[in-house]
Amino acid sequence: MAWRSSGTSNAELVENMVRNGLIKEPEVKEAFLKVDRAHYAPSFPYDDSPQPIGHAATISAPHMHATAVEHLLPFVLPTDDRPAPRVLDIGSGSGYLTHVLAELAGSRAVVVGVEHIAALRDLGEKNMNKSDRGKELLREGRVRFRVGDGRKGWVEPGEEDKKWDAIHVGAAAAELHQGLLDQLKSPGRMFIPVDDDDGGWGQHVWCIDKDEHGKVTRKKLFGVRYVPLTDPPGH
Ligand code: SAH
């Protein structure tokens, strides 16, 4: 799959992902067209493959970003019941997905990217500052980049009582951390790669739903290769 959606421009990459059925919803297409991957991927931005961004991290492949957004979409788009969605992007890395999620979540939303490496927190912010739109989202506090251990989730200072409608985890967790689950709203949805529990190297993405009564259901989606959700280097 890695090469099939590659393009020579952002628009071509997005069109190819639509044609290959990776982007299905018109809102998702629109959001991906608004964010130029060249601001986030240092090399081959329109290739459908992961690219190194330093600090042993990668910007995920476009088809993975598209798949994650398609799954989280119902909990990211603003509705009458959820006029101001709160979205958490753990392991924000390049900041690309954080930006795409903010385009979808609407003008009253808060999207927070969490990195455990300060230099990568800064990279996300630097990349967003490359466009006027990114600058605006940062200035208005609709996108915030923070340093923290994403395995514990994230609580915004002054917003201690507020949970998250959607949580995206961009690195593979050793387990489905309870702290993260506790921070998911009812209803809410989390997209998280988790190591298989057979002690091997396999990982699968799980879609975790919490319904309005707090009941949690877990759906195993597909196998992946993500960098691990770990202690920061040197600890
Ligand atoms: N969504 C990013 C993916 C970056 S790769 C993108 O597409 O650009 C995964 C990221 O998770 C890395 O940047 C890594 O630094 C970060 N990470 C790993 N463990 C973490 C932890 N415990 N808390 C927060 N971020 C973590």
CATH number for position 140 = 3.40.50.150
Predicted confidence (pLDDT) at residue 2 exceeds the cutoff of 50 = no
State how far the Cα of 107 lies from the Cα of 43, in Å rounded to an integer.
31
Q: Is the pLDDT of residue 232 over 90?
A: no
Look at residue 20 in the predicted model and tell me its pLDDT: 96
Distance from the Cα of residue 78 to its chain's centroid:
17
> Based on the structure, what is the number of domains in the chain?
1
Would residue 32 count as lying in a domain? no
The answer to whether position 9 is within a domain reads no
Q: Decide the pairing of beta strands 164-169 and 184-195.
A: parallel
Query: Rounded to the nearest 5 degrees, what angle is found at the Cα of 105, between the Cα atoms of 170 and 22?
Result: 55
Q: First and final CA of the chain: distance in angstroms?
A: 36
Rg (CA), the chain: 16
- Mean pLDDT score, 55-60: 95
Residue 101 domain-assigned (yes or no): yes
How far away, in angstroms, is 89 Cα from ligand 1 center? 9
Q: Specify if 13 maps to a domain.
A: no
Q: What is the pTM of this model?
A: 0.97
Q: Which of 24-38, 122-136, 197-211 has the lowest mean pLDDT?
A: 197-211
> How much is the mean pLDDT over the chain?
96
25 within domain boundaries: no
Percentage with pLDDT > 70 across the chain: 99
Strand blocks (E) in the chain: 51-54, 57-59, 86-90, 110-115, 143-147, 164-169, 184-195, 203-210, 216-224
Is there a domain that residue 177 lies in? yes
- Identify the three-state secondary structure at position 143: strand
C-alpha–C-alpha distance, residues 41 and 127, integer Å: 9
230 CB within 6 A, ligand 1: yes
In a domain, 41, yes or no: no
107 pLDDT higher than 60: yes
Pocket lining: 195 vs ligand 1, CB cutoff 6 Å: no
What separation in Å is there between the alpha carbon of 172 and the centre of ligand 1? 9
What does residue 160 show for φ and ψ, rounded to 5 degrees?
-60, -25
**pLDDT tens figures, 153-211:** 999 999 999 999 999 999 999 999 999 999 999 999 999 999 999 888 899 999 999 99
The Cβ of residue 146 has, within 10 Å, a number of other Cβ atoms equal to 17
Is residue 16, in this structure, part of any structural domain at all? no
Structural contact between residues 12 and 20, judged by C-beta atoms closer than 8 angstroms: no
pLDDT confidence of residue 3: 61
Phi-psi region of 233 (alpha: psi -120 to 50; beta: other; left: phi over 0): beta
What is the residue range of 81's domain? 53-223
Q: Which amino acid is at 20?
A: N
C-beta of 173 in contact with ligand 1 (< 6 A): no
Q: Which residue has the tokens 């195993």?
A: 220
